[in-house]
């Protein structure tokens, strides 16, 4: 597995990371713990060194899973987790709004360190920008944690360009995480240019369109009642039918390159910038191997141009989030 560096930082990780959320949260019922521990450890054997979690995934259970699985391999892995929500007091899934007050950030850091069984968080993201707390205060709190040795690097998730600049002026931002794939390309409008200018890495989450770009989901697919994709406008049967054209495009290129649609979608991201590290999530070993296989797929300039021309003729239908969640992005 090739390695990549996040911008001007000294943080180096595998070219592909692993999003761990779906093992415990959001995509149907939590998966078997021992199976997920095995999958996490196998992914390290396969060369993956970058793992993404958050306190809100569960809540808490995903960090506990990652901690149990990876603490014996601590010297081989980079673990990213996140702060920024007020969780439900009864411990049930979900949250009660945003909270990035400095004292809350420090509480979350201490609790996450225990659950992850580590003495320093490699990359600590603000999960969503809190409009009630100046980003300078957030960056300052993380700067304190870095000074104390509890955190190594500062990150932002779904932040707008102005916020990234303001935060970076207080504490250098190592990486920004936002949704990015062939079916959601908004980061190209402003974010990627800002990151390139400032020397900040980029972590595309949902690089496979929450599973849709794999070609394994169509308008007739029934998702588990607890799967959060049921709440997303882009996953209505009508939107899935309309967006099938994008999957068909990936399938056609995949056939030409002797790859799978998922591998083409990931290879396209890897070809965009050398400081970009996608984090596809999976709970299945054969999918993990398929995703890793994307790092060996080489898209030529002609391939990339063909994808660009074909994709430009496809208008993706449906918002990616319900309005309440969409309002939390791009601040």
Per-residue pLDDT, 90: 84
| Calpha distance 205→261 (Å, rounded) | 17
| Calpha distance 143→145 (Å, rounded) | 5
Asked whether 311 and 247 are in contact (CB, 8 A), the reply is: no
Per-residue pLDDT, 92: 87
Dump pLDDT digits (tens) for 5-63.
999 999 999 999 999 999 999 999 999 999 999 999 999 999 999 999 999 999 999 99
Per-residue pLDDT, 101: 98
- Polymer length of the chain: 331
What pTM, to 2 d.p., does this model score? 0.97
Spell out the residues 6+ positions from residue 156 whose beta carbon is closer than 8 angstroms to its own: 125, 126, 129, 163, 164, 167, 173, 176, 177
Of the ranges 76-80, 92-96, 171-175, 227-231, which one carries the lowest mean pLDDT score? 92-96
Asked whether 69 and 37 are in contact (CB, 8 A), the reply is: yes
Angle between helices 261-272 and 301-312 (to 10 degrees): 110
Helix H or strand E segment including 85: strand 85-87
Helix H or strand E segment including 191: helix 191-198
Spell out the residues 6+ positions from residue 212 whose beta carbon is closer than 8 angstroms to its own: 183, 234, 235, 240, 243, 247
**Residue of 118, 114, 116, 123 lying closest to 146 (CA atoms):** 123
Choosing from 57, 125, 180, 205, the catalytic residue is 57
pLDDT average, residue stretch 111-135? 98
Dump pLDDT digits (tens) for 276-315.
999 999 999 999 999 999 999 999 999 999 999 999 999 9
pLDDT > 90 in the chain, percent: 97
pLDDT > 70 in the chain, percent: 100
Question: Is position 57 annotated as part of the catalytic site?
Answer: yes
CATH superfamily, domain 3-208+272-297, is NADP-dependent oxidoreductase domain (3.20.20.100)
Helix (H, G, I), strand (E, B) or coil at 4: strand
Asked whether 226 and 24 are in contact (CB, 8 A), the reply is: no
Mean model confidence pLDDT for the chain:
97
Per-residue pLDDT, 89: 86
Per-residue DSSP letter, 321: S
């Amino acid at each position: 597995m090739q390695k990549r560096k996040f911008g001007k930082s000294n943080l180096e990780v595998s070219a592909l990371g692993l999003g761990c959320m779906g093992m415990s949260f959001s995509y149907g019922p939590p998966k078997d713990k021992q199976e997920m521990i095995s999958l996490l450890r196998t992914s390290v054997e396969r060369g993956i060194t970058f793992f993404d979690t958050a306190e809100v995934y569960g809540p808490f259970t995903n960090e506990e899973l990652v901690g149990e699985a990876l603490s014996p391999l601590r010297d081989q892995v980079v673990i990213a987790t996140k702060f920024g929500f007020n969780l439900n007091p009864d411990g049930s899934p979900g949250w009660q709004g945003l909270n990035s007050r400095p004292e809350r950030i420090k509480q979350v850091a201490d609790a996450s360190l225990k659950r992850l069984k580590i003495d320093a968080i490699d990359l600590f993201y603000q999960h969503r920008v809190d409009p009630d707390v100046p980003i300078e205060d957030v960056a300052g709190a993380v700067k304190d944690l870095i000074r104390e040795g509890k955190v190594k690097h500062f990150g932002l998730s779904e932040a707008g360009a102005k916020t990234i600049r303001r935060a970076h002026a207080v504490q250098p931002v190592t990486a920004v995480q936002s949704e990015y794939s062939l079916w959601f390309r908004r980061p190209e409008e402003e974010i990627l240019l800002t990151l390139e200018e400032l020397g900040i890495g980029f972590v595309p989450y949902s690089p496979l369109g929450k599973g849709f770009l794999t070609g394994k989901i169509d308008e007739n697919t029934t998702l588990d009642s607890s799967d959060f994709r049921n709440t997303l406008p882009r996953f209505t049967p009508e939107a899935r039918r309309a967006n099938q054209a994008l999957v068909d495009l990936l399938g056609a290129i995949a056939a030409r390159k002797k790859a799978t649609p998922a591998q083409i979608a990931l290879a396209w991201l890897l070809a965009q910038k050398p400081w970009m590290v996608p984090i596809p999530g999976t709970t299945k070993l054969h999918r993990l191997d398929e995703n890793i296989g994307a790092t060996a797929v080489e898209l030529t300039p002609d391939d990339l141009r063909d994808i660009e021309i074909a994709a430009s003729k496809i208008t993706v239908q449906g918002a990616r989030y319900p309005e309440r969640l969409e309002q939390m992005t791009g601040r």
